Amino acid sequence: MMLLGAGSFLGVDVAVAAAALNTLGLVVLGYLAIALLRRRYEGKTLVAASACALLGIGSS
């Protein structure tokens, strides 16, 4: 909410700021999920686990 308020203060449309922040959050969560999965899995198992994680994050 603070970032949306800051964007509004700077003249950015609230809907555009919300979409940009949601996209940024999705990218960060996806990166963190894959980074954590790399510690445990490798090869085809990593690909499958990453796909499941990204589908779970993206569907929320």
Find out whether 16 and 47 touch, Cβ atoms under 8 Å. Answer: no
For 2-59, the pLDDT digits (tens) are 999 998 899 999 999 999 999 999 899 989 999 999 888 989 999 999 998 888 888 8
Q: Alpha-carbon distance 13 to 24, whole Å?
A: 17
Residue range of the domain that includes 34: 2-58
For 39-48, the pLDDT digits (tens) are 889 899 999 9
pLDDT value of position 28: 93
* Total domains in the fold of the chain: 1
